[in-house]
Amino acid sequence: MAPQIAHRPALALLEQNQPLPLVAEFALFVAVSTTKWTMRRRTRLALKQLEPHQLHDIGLTRQEALDEATRAFWRT
């Protein structure tokens, strides 16, 4: 619970509709990009682990899952 309280002033600053300083804007871009890339990588690696019946449930073939799993994390 403490980390949420510690971030409240920073989040309040972001919600004020004021332009961010250039350095802050760049840092935010890097943080968001890194988070997206990490989630893509984890999701794609998880596709390799799915059983055939699980792939069927989500409408993918084994080959489609492997094709997606081998894509670079920065590619959408």
The predicted pLDDT at position 5 comes to 66
The predicted pLDDT at position 3 comes to 54
Q: Match 């059983």 to its residue by tokens.
A: 51
The predicted pLDDT at position 2 comes to 53
d(CA 62, CA 24): 42
Whether pTM exceeds 0.75: no
d(CA 21, CA 1): 29
For 66-73, what is the mean pLDDT? 92
What stretch of H or E contains 6?
A: helix 2-14
